[in-house]
Each structure stands twice: as structure tokens, then as C-alpha cells.
Structure 1
Amino acid sequence: MRVSIDHAPTLARGHNEPAEWEVLNALIGRIYDSVLHPECWNETLARITGALCPLSWEAAFILWESTAPPQARFVAASGLAAGVQEIYSAVYAGNHPWSRKLMRYGNGSVVDSNDIMTREEFSESAFFRNFLAPWGIDRMVCVMLDRRGNERLGLMLPGPGDRDVETLKRGLRVLAPHIQRAMRISDRVATLELAAGAARAATDFAPFAIFSLDDQLNILSANSRAAGYEEAGFIRLAQDRFAFAHPASQKKLIDLVKSPNPAGLAFQALAASGAECPVLVARITQQSAQQIGGFSAGASLIVTIGSAPGETPVVEIDRVAQWFALTPAEARLAVGLAAGHSLQDYAAQRAVSLNAVRFLLKGIFRKTGAASQAKLVAMLARLPSSGGQ
């Protein structure tokens, strides 16, 4: 099944070097465009087959494949009939003569299946008889692109073996290093985007504000909790610069910035209303700043500010943990229950299963002697204040 290609140039079948390079340069440009636009890889493969492949060689696909255990994952595909990817992945992945023999070739190799086994030998395989024969496919040219553990990444172009594929192989030898480099860049970009997205989600899910600041206290990034602390009067965020409203707290921050060595501090910041809020500040090196997911390179300080306004302060959690010898997770759950939150609320907030929360609750009951959530809440309500301990 041929995928339509708009005005795709075709590589000259005779020896016409200028025309060949014009076509190959156009394909190289498409390959690198696909790094920035991964959804275009299918069309790029269609252009490669349209420009390089002989008649009736209409399919191309890029996949990760392993023989131990047998598995396959398609990255891009063009010209495949409906259901082919699913059938191959479920039944034949890593479990036929071509895939087993191709695993031994190095990255960058352009391999013709006729060079690893005869077509007559291949025609006796169940893979050919039960899967490829209806499409008249008994030959494949592939480019080995990368390796990850037991998996190999390859560009595969199958078709009928009675056609001349020298033009295809010549073109793939030129394109191979560019496809290989583009796939590695795509993988790095996807990994970085995933890590950054996970870090952003984690910081936004945190029950406290998180800021990354440069050494001039300019805000490089902040999570969704940050605005609440400005509204509550703990901080000022004028012109994207960070400052504590409480002068003594601001002095602590400035002193840390001027400190010659990486360090950290913890203190209680005050709002104009007199309310307190726990603060943790860490001074970090430029080298480590670049490795902290979700924060901009160039950060000098990471600042976390207590719990969100209206939630139980971190210092209360510490007090409960010390009083009953609870773990931090147990104390956090106990204080949350005392504040009216449910087990389901805690599970959602901490991104853990409800069974894990119930396990924590059992530990709390054992250490406090409470026999129910109601008795636990009543027990916490009778605790003396921190000044009376």
C-alpha cells in the first residue's frame, strides 16, 4: 500500500551524481526536520521509499526490537497495511530468521537480507509462509541505527526480491549516519521533555511553594503554590524579584547569598499579620543546578516555603512525629487526618496507592495506641502546644 507523496524527487537510476545529491540533500533536510516534529517521521519514511526504492517496494518502518525477550516497538511506519504492526508485535517480534541474524550487525550497517540468508532458505520459514507471502515480500534492506540493552533500533525496508535495490542501498549508505544521529537527538529530546514535564508536575503537586532564584534573587522558576504566599503577605514578587516581607527573614536570605560556600538554612518567616511559615533555603552550585529537573540553569538558590496557606505547617508535622516517634510519612498522614482530610486525599496528594496509606495508618495506630481515626484525631487535639512540651 503506497503512501502518497507530494512531488517527492526520485533518485536517478543511472549514474547522475548532481541529481543524486540534490535528492539526498532534500531527504537529509527532511530527516532533521523530523527531530523537531516527530509526527513527521512517517511522511519522511514515505519520501525515502518514494525517492530510493524500486517499484513495489512501498513499506518502511523504524522499530526497536529484541530477541530476548522477543518484543518490538514501532517508532514510525509508512506503507504498511492496517493491522500489520499489531500482528508483527504480537506474533513475530524477535522470533524470525531476519531479526535474529540482524542483531549481530553494528550500528550504521546497511544490510541486505540476501547477504545473511538465501531467499530459498527464507522461503521455508514460517514467518515468510504465514505472514509475508501474501504481499510478495521475501527480501529486506535495513539500516542498523542504535542499541539499548538487548534491543536494536533499525530502519527496515521490505519488498519483492526480484527488483534491483542497488540504488536504495547506495542512498541508505549516505542517509544512515543522518538517520542515526536524528534518532538519537529525538530520543534525547523526548527524554528531557519527559523529565522536565515530570519535574514540573512534581513541583506543582507539592503542598508548599518552590522557587529557584539566581544570585541576584531574580525568580527563574516557581510552582503553582507561589502566588498564594504573596497573597498571604509572606513574600513580595515585584518585577520578578524574590523578597521576604519580614526584614529579618530577608536579611537571612541575603546573608546566605553572600556566603562563599554552599549551605542551607531553615527559619520561620513572618507575614504582616504575624502568622508564621516555615522556610527552607538551599544554596547550590552552578554544576548541580543544571541537573535539577524543572529548574532553569543558572539557579543559585532553591527556596521552599512551608505548606500552602491554610494547611498544617511543617513544624506541626515535626512536633507530632517527635511526640509519638512517628516516621515523617506517618506524621504527615496523622496531621492531615486531624485537619479533616481523608485517606483518599492523602493518597492523591502524595501520588501513592490507598493500600499504602492504610498501611501507614496501621503504623500510626500501633505507635499512638489509637484504635480508630476518630480517636486519633481527638488524641492529636489534646497534644500540648510546642511551648508546653
Structure 2
Amino acid sequence: MQNDQGPTFPSDHNAPAEWEVLNALIGEIYDSVLHPESWNETLARITSTLCPLSWEAAFILWESNSPPSARFVAATGLAAGVQEIYTAVYAGNHPWSRKLMRYGNGSVVDSNDIITRDEFLETEFFRNFLAPWGIDRMIAVLLDKRGSERLGLMLPGPGDRDVERLKRGLRVLAPHMQRAMRISDRLATLDLAAGAARAATDAAPFAIFSLDDQLNILSANSRAVRYEKRGFIRTAHDRFAFNHPPSQKQLLDLVKSEAPTGVAFQALGPSGAECPVLVARVTRQSAQQLGGVRLGASLIVTLGSAPGETPVVEIDRVAQWFGLTPAEARLAVALAAGDTVQDYAALRAVSVNAVRFLLKGIFRKTGATTQAQLVALIARLPGPGDG
């Protein structure tokens, strides 16, 4: 249990024991940046460490007076339903909230300095909301501002207790909490941007790799694995390589280039199947981090051609050999690559019946009567360089 004076600190503000306690709290504040779900526990540690007896509640919230609104970020020691009642009835519309909005970021504010206790005891906010808990004073830390909203740490309690130790500790913690909140916002923004980028690359109808100068794979989308299964590439030990030696040489030649440039070519698989490739040499990104600079991608590799992921050269060759239309040739090559009628219909966003209608035309022109025969016919076609 806490005593009336809170934790025992030496009277000297610079005493090592007090700084040890505050340093531990600072560490927890920065840990909460990486684990936002732990903010409630961090607030509980702050109240138990710095607050006098009966000052057990603390919360962080965004609040606005125009229009009146409030959003709780974290809280500890609040009775059930308090957040809902405050948000619905009192948000941005009581003396403490209105007067606190005037203070700058980083301020540690005592409610007794912005409204006298006698005046506050006459307010509807106290009489109808705070009186049952004996709360008539609050220490606040203004942390950030966004438009008409202000972010604050609020610690309410009974005003007959000594809160000097609390205010002194909060003056030390305030700048760290400000930095932590800004870092948390930045990380959340980066997470959202990274998530959107991942979703975009996964939606692409071809494989996308980002590589560094040593061909280490920094990222790859969900379609990448199918090209390894088909034998076009290998990714052992998270390093990228083409199985087709001429393709690998083009990649290595591009690594040696210092200026941003690009190259397009057809890679070959073990059965002679072709895969269109585009490799771009980009200006290498870098980011400052503790201990130095972290380097990012310098090569972007895409494999496949959308939609259907079949090489244009292969489609044209099949179309010319059998006299197929482009639509028929795309379907024939897709089936030869292992897609089903249902897969192709879903990829092209057409009905299965429409695909089957195309397939009848292919059978008629090629002489095949089954999909297996069609695949065998295409497999026996001469290569692009054959006579």
C-alpha cells in the first residue's frame, strides 16, 4: 500500500535514488512505443510510483472543445463506465478542459492554478460527476496538438494531498512522453504505409522482388514462390538467382551499373518455358539508425506478364502456329502452364462458360479434343529459334 506521501524519495531532487525511479519509468514509456497495448500498465506504474494516496487514476486522451469530443488512448484506475460517460456528456465541455487548451505542449498544469477550488466545487462537472469519487483536483501534462485536438496525460485525485512530488516527476517525464507519442505516431504511419505497399504488391499479377547489391532478398510478394516452383529462379539462403545462366549474367551486369537503368529479357525454365523479366536498377535508399546507416533496395525484379502471367512471345508463337485469336492463344498458353478453366475465368474476371466457349474454338483450330491433348500439342511446338 502507498502511504500518504507516496513513494519515499530523498528531499534532494537530484538524489540518485529518485533518478533511478524516474529512469525506470522513462524506460517503460519508450517500451510502450513498441508495445502500445502496455500503455495502461505504464500509467499504472506512474501512479503507483509518483502519486500520493488515493491518486490512483490516470488517462491519456485526445480532446477537443470545437466540436466537443474525446478519445481515450490509455487509462488506469477508472471505474467502469467512466470513459463512456465522460465522452458522451463532458468531453471538451467543462472548466478544466476549456482552460487547459490554452497551455502549450510540454506544460505540466495544476488545476488549482487555472481555477480556484471553491469555484470548481460549484461547477456541474464536479457536483454531478466527480464528487462521488472525491476528486476535485487534477495534474495534467499537455503532450501534443493536432488541429483542434490536444493530447494530454491527466491524473485526477483529491485536492487535500501533497502533489509536489508528482509534479516534479512529471516535469522530468513530460518530454519523454512527448517524444514517445510522436515516435508512436510515426511508427503507426509507417506501418500503414508498409501495409498498403504489401497489399498493392500482392495484388499485382506478377512476382516482385526487391534486392540489395549482394542480391539478398529484402522483400517479395506472395506470387514470388510460384516462379521458384516452376524452376525459373532459386532463393536459397534468401539470395536471389536465375537458374538460366544468360539471365543471371544480365542481372549481375546490372548490379555493376552505378546509374539507375533497367533491362528486359526472357528467362528460361528447365523445360524451355519462357518468363518475361524486367529488372530496374534504382537509386539506393538509406535510413539513419542507431549505429549508422541502414541501406535498402538497389534492384527491383519483376517476373511474369499480366494478366495470365504468360510471356507475350509465347502467346504470339502459339497464335501464329495454330491460327488462334489473341484471346484463344492466351487461354491455350495458360492451360499449358497448368491453369484450370476455373483459374483462368477468375483471373480474367469472366464466366466459366465464356472460357469454355473459347476452348471449343481452340479445339477446332488445333484438332485437339481434350485439354491434355492441347497441352501436349503446345509442348511439342518448335522453340522460338528453331527452323
Check the 8 A contact 1:63/1:74 in 2, yes or no. Answer: yes
Q: Structure 1 120/286 Cα, relative in aligned 2: closer, same or farther at 3 Å?
A: same
CA distance in 2, matches of 1:121, 1:267: 80
CA distance in 2, matches of 1:265, 1:91: 63
Pairing partner for 1:100 from 93, 98, 115: 98
* Larger Rg, first or second structure (1 or 2): 2
Letter of the structure 1 residue corresponding to residue 103 of structure 2: Y
> How far has the Cα of 1:126 moved from its partner?
3.3
1:12-42, CA deviations, whole angstroms, 9 ceiling, x for partnerless residues? 4773443433433333333233334333322
Alignment of 1:40-119 (within 5 A): 40-119=38-117
1:229 and 2:227 aligned: yes
1:278-326, CA deviations, whole angstroms, 9 ceiling, x for partnerless residues? 3222211123x669xxxx9431101111169x9453759x99xxx99xx
Secondary structure (helix, strand or coil) at the match of 2:346 reads coil
Deviates more, 1:162-171 or 1:133-142: 162-171
**Number of positions where the alignment pairs a residue of Structure 1 with one of Structure 2:** 334
Q: With the length of structure 1 as denominator, give the TM-score of the two structures.
A: 0.72
1:143-198, CA deviations, whole angstroms, 9 ceiling, x for partnerless residues? 01112232211110011223332222122112212222222233333333443344
CA distance in 1, matches of 2:279, 2:69: 47
1:186 and 2:191 aligned: no
Name 1:31's counterpart in structure 2.
Answer: 29
Check the 8 A contact 1:338/1:377 in 2, yes or no. Answer: no
Q: With the length of structure 2 as denominator, give the TM-score of the two structures.
A: 0.73
Pairing partner for 1:136 from 134, 148, 168: 134
CA distance in 2, matches of 1:206, 1:137: 57
CA distance in 1, matches of 2:123, 2:310: 68
> How far has the Cα of 1:338 moved from its partner?
9.2
> How far has the Cα of 1:89 moved from its partner?
2.3
Pairing partner for 1:340 from 314, 339, 345: 345
CA distance in 1, matches of 2:197, 2:92: 35
1:15 and 2:11 aligned: yes
Check the 8 A contact 1:41/1:76 in 2, yes or no. Answer: yes
Secondary structure (helix, strand or coil) at the match of 1:286 reads coil
Structure 2 unaligned spans of 5+: 289-293, 317-324, 327-340, 366-383
Structure 1 unaligned spans of 5+: 325-335, 347-360, 362-371
Check the 8 A contact 1:211/1:222 in 2, yes or no. Answer: yes
CA distance in 2, matches of 1:382, 1:258: 49
Secondary structure (helix, strand or coil) at the match of 1:280 reads strand
Q: Structure 1 284/70 Cα, relative in aligned 2: closer, same or farther at 3 Å?
A: farther
CA distance in 2, matches of 1:109, 1:122: 21
Name 2:250's counterpart in structure 1.
Answer: 252
CA distance in 2, matches of 1:73, 1:205: 34
1:313 and 2:318 aligned: no
Secondary structure (helix, strand or coil) at the match of 1:230 reads helix
Q: Structure 1 278/115 Cα, relative in aligned 2: closer, same or farther at 3 Å?
A: same
Of all paired residues, the percent bearing the same amino acid is 72
Alignment of 1:207-356 (within 5 A): 207-287=205-285, 297-306=295-304, 311-313=308-310, 315=312, 339-341=344-346
> How far has the Cα of 1:377 moved from its partner?
8.2
Check the 8 A contact 1:108/1:143 in 2, yes or no. Answer: yes
Check the 8 A contact 2:209/2:219 in 1, yes or no. Answer: yes
Name 1:149's counterpart in structure 2.
Answer: 147
Secondary structure (helix, strand or coil) at the match of 2:11 reads coil
Q: Structure 1 262/183 Cα, relative in aligned 2: closer, same or farther at 3 Å?
A: same
Q: Structure 1 236/47 Cα, relative in aligned 2: closer, same or farther at 3 Å?
A: closer
Name 2:376's counterpart in structure 1.
Answer: none
Check the 8 A contact 1:146/1:152 in 2, yes or no. Answer: yes
CA distance in 2, matches of 1:91, 1:137: 18
Letter of the structure 2 residue corresponding to residue 151 of structure 1: E
1:314-350, CA deviations, whole angstroms, 9 ceiling, x for partnerless residues? 759x99xxx99xxxxxxxxxxx9992218xx96xxxx
Name 1:369's counterpart in structure 2.
Answer: none
1:197-247, CA deviations, whole angstroms, 9 ceiling, x for partnerless residues? 443444344432221111232322223322211111212334433222333
> How far has the Cα of 1:375 moved from its partner?
6.4
CA distance in 2, matches of 1:254, 1:23: 56
Letter of the structure 2 residue corresponding to residue 341 of structure 1: A
Deviates more, 1:29-38 or 1:221-230: 29-38
Secondary structure (helix, strand or coil) at the match of 2:345 reads coil
